[in-house]
């Protein structure tokens, strides 16, 4: 809309100049014919005044597009307006005031080793840095930033339209080199890459804010070490993986051995418990037998007779030893009976000291 207004005013200014030319023509024609030139002069003067005024006004109309701001410079005082002009149509005084626009949209600046990818087209623009252990590092990076609308006058005062090439690029490269020098190459190659990226981003953001820029993001696109260093790191990783596998196998074998040992311990504990139970059972059995013997003294004799073979008809008893049986009790029993209802025992004759007593077969 602002552009349309400026065009309309410019068109009216052009009409004013055309009216001036027409008035001059009328003056010339009237003078050649000897007629009064007053009307022609009036038309020419009016057209000139209107044309000049409208031309000045059209030059004083500035149209600021979206995502841009205008910094107004005062020619007489050499100062800048306190606040940049935002998007829209604004009036300035031509000659006395001069407006410069800056974009406040997000901008991207890439430094890359790949030709045609970075801001420096056709050249290797990667950042070369060196770690604290002397390893060379080539880093591709991208910064995403924008001019802070309220501080566009600071950019205009310090850098004008040179702020990308003379501030953004050298500042980022310098910060990257400084921070990379605080790390060793192996840590950057491994687990501390994210930490490195965060630290660089924080430092770049602080520097940008001091100059009227907002940093949206800092991205490490690629890290490249020398081929020898990359191969040495790869070998270390392979060795670490093999060591890990060996440790895992050792832990597996140890766990298996521990399981077998526990199984043997449990087996021995079970056997010991079985022996204890058997011993307890035997002790209980002996206690029961002892109590039965105490209650039935002839029980052993009975059991002995019961276990004699059926065809035994002769028993030998040493004459100089205590009798195994209570013969008095047995002899006093009626024939064919005993205290134990045992089979009939043949007569037993007591022998002399030199010979054993015996009974003959029937």
**Segment 258-270, tens digit of pLDDT:** 888 888 888 888 8
Percent above pLDDT 70 for the chain? 73
- How many of the other CB atoms lie within 10 Å of CB of 229? 17
Nearest to 127 by CA among 52, 51, 204: 204
Cβ neighbors of 111 (< 8 A, separation 6 or more) are 118, 119, 120, 125, 126, 127, 140, 141, 142, 169, 172, 173
Whether residue 159 is predicted with pLDDT greater than 90 in this model: the reply is: yes
Is the sign of the CA dihedral 147, 153, 157, 161 positive or negative? positive
- Cα 75 to Cα 84: distance, rounded to the nearest angstrom: 16
Distance set, CA 73 to CA 102, 157, 169 (Å):
13, 10, 27
Q: How long a stretch of residues is the chain?
A: 362
Average pLDDT score over residue span 143-161: 93
Q: Is 223 in contact with 133 (CB distance < 8 Å)?
A: no
Q: Is 289 in contact with 299 (CB distance < 8 Å)?
A: no
Instruction: Provide the pLDDT for residue 139.
Output: 92
Cβ neighbors of 209 (< 8 A, separation 6 or more) are 215
Considering only residues 30 and 104, tell me which one the structure prediction assigns the higher pLDDT.
104
pLDDT band of residue 337 (cuts 50, 70, 90) is very low
Q: Is 103 in contact with 127 (CB distance < 8 Å)?
A: no
Nearest to 239 by CA among 231, 251, 250: 231
pLDDT band of residue 164 (cuts 50, 70, 90) is very high
């Amino acid at each position: 809309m602002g552009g349309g207004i400026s065009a309309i005013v410019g068109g009216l200014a052009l009409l004013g100049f055309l009216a001036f030319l027409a008035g001059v023509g009328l003056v010339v024609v009237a003078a050649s014919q000897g007629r009064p030139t007053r009307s022609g002069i009036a038309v020419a003067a009016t057209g000139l005044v209107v044309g000049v005024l409208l031309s000045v006004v059209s030059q004083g109309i500035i149209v600021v597009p979206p995502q841009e701001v205008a910094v107004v410079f005062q020619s007489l005082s050499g100062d800048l307006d306190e606040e940049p002009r935002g998007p829209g149509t604004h009036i300035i005084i031509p000659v006395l005031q001069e407006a410069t626009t800056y974009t406040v949209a997000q901008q991207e600046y890439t430094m890359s080793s790949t030709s045609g990818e970075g801001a420096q087209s056709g050249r290797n623009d990667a950042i070369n840095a060196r770690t604290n252990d002397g390893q060379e590092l080539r880093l591709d990076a991208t910064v995403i930033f924008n001019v802070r609308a309220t501080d566009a006058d600071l950019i205009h005062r310090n850098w004008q339209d040179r702020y990308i090439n003379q501030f953004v690029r050298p500042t980022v490269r310098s910060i990257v080199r400084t921070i990379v020098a605080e790390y060793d190459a192996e840590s950057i190659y491994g687990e501390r890459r994210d930490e490195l990226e965060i630290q660089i981003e924080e430092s770049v953001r602080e520097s940008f804010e001091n100059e009227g820029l907002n940093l949206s993001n800092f991205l490490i696109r690629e890290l490249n070490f020398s081929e020898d260093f990359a191969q040495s790191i790869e070998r270390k990783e392979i060795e670490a993986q093999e060591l890990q596998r060996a440790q895992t196998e050792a832990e597996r074998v140890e766990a298996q051995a521990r399981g077998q040992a526990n199984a043997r311990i449990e087996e021995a504990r079970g056997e010991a418990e079985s022996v204890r139970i058997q011993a307890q059972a035997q002790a209980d059995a002996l206690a029961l037998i002892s109590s039965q013997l105490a209650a039935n003294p002839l029980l052993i004799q009975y059991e002995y007779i019961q276990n004699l073979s059926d065809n035994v008809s002769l028993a030998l008893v040493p004459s100089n030893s205590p009798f195994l049986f209570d013969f008095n009790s047995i002899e006093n029993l009626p024939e064919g009976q005993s205290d134990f209802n045992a089979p009939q025992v043949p007569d037993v004759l007591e022998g002399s000291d030199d010979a054993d007593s015996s009974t003959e077969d029937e």
